[in-house]
Each structure stands twice: as C-alpha cells, then as structure tokens.
C-alpha cells in the first residue's frame, strides 16, 4: 500500500521538467496539478516564466491538461489565458479525472506523466491510475486548511521512505 505514495521521480520545480527529457522517455502528455505545483495556491494567474514553460511544451508537441481539486472559477480563470484544457473538482486521489484527461488528450497512460506537489492526492492518484508520477516541491510555504492536514501525513510518509532507503533526494 505504501508504494502508491512513493513518486517515480522528484524534482525541485516544474521548470526542471523539460520537453527534451519527456520526449526522451516517450512522454507526449502531462497531467499537472495547479495549486502549489504551477503557482502559489493564492496566485490567480501564470507567471511569465510559467507561460514560457507552457509555450515550450506546446512547441515540442507535449500536451498539457491541468487537473485540480479546486473549483471551476479558479481553474478556468487560470487555464483559459494559457489555452490549456482543464478538469476541475477532480476528486483526486480518485483516478477518474486522470483517466478522463489522458482520454481527452488521445494518449496512452505510458505516454503521460502526472505532476503534482502532494503525495496524498497527485502521487497516490497517479500511481493508482498506472501513470509515471513526478513530485515537485510546493511553490508556496503556506497551504489551505485541508492541505495543511495532508502535509502532516506526507511528512510521516517521507520519513518512513527515508528510513527504508527509498528516497534518494534531499528535502
């Protein structure tokens, strides 16, 4: 059961994920979380650097879909200026939104990665759905109430993985 909480890969930020590294692995699509993965949970729109990241993915024919547990107003307002498909109220870690995203992109699971900042939603859901998962360090040091609860559990899981020698990255 614990294996579902262990990401396949860990990077410091979304900007460490390049089209070249994805293409090399046969990846054609990204399912990404929004809040604290792409931008701070309280930032309404993409930064110039993030806009450039999205454009670079598009130039390299990497499809991106934002999958968020947040409400439609938040996710639509963020995604529309980027001309990026999205799924709101995704109910992660349930896998239905991940499966819907991969189907809408017209890809296979092994051609798609799931990127997020939370073990309990993004990584757990992505792993259960059979996707390659990439954990990023949260963009902000603060979280909403529900996420703060999840972070406490995540710290315990990360400590277990460290003790088992399953983590090969620094905090």
Homologous superfamily of 2-163 in CATH?
Answer: HAD superfamily/HAD-like (3.40.50.1000)
pLDDT at 143: 62
CA atoms within 13 A on the CB side of 158: 17
- Residue 10 CA to residue 157 CA, distance in Å, equals 15
Burial category of 75 from C-beta neighbours within 10 Å (exposed 0-12, middle 13-18, buried 19 and up): buried
10-residue stretch averages of pLDDT, the chain, 171 residues long: 90 96 97 96 93 98 97 97 98 97 98 96 97 93 70 85 75 46
pLDDT at 42: 85
How many helices, marked H, and strands, marked E, lie in the chain?
Answer: 6, 6
**DSSP class of residue 37?**
T
- Residue 109 CA to residue 151 CA, distance in Å, equals 27
- pTM comes to 0.90
pLDDT at 145: 63
Domain ranges of the chain: 2-163
Q: 101, 113 in Cβ contact below 8 A? A: no
CA atoms within 13 A on the CB side of 145: 0
- Residue 103 CA to residue 97 CA, distance in Å, equals 10
Would you state the structure tokens that stand for residue 23, as one six-digit string? 């293409």
Cis peptide bond N-terminal to 93, omega within 30: yes
Would you state the structure tokens that stand for residue 105, as one six-digit string? 């992109």
Tokens 């073990």 found at: 119
Find the Cα–Cα–Cα–Cα dihedral 33, 128, 102, 109, rounded to 10°.
120
């Amino acid at each position: 059961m614990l294996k579902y909480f262990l990401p396949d890969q860990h990077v410091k930020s979304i900007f460490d994920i390049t089209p070249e590294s994805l293409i090399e692995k046969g990846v054609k699509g990204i399912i990404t979380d929004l809040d604290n993965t792409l931008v701070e949970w309280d930032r309404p729109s993409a930064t110039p650097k993030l806009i450039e990241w999205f454009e670079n993915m598009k130039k390299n024919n990497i499809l991106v879909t934002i999958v968020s547990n947040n409400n439609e107003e938040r996710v639509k307002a963020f995604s529309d200026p980027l001309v990026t498909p999205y799924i709101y109220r995704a109910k992660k870690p349930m896998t239905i939104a991940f499966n819907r995203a991969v189907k809408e992109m017209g890809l296979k699971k092994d051609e798609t990665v799931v990127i997020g900042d939370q073990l309990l939603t993004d990584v757990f859901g992505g792993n259960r759905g059979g996707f390659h998962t990439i954990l990023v360090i949260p963009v902000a040091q603060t979280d909403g109430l529900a996420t703060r609860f999840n972070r406490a559990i995540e710290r315990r899981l990360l400590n277990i993985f460290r003790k088992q020698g399953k983590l090969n990255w620094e905090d």
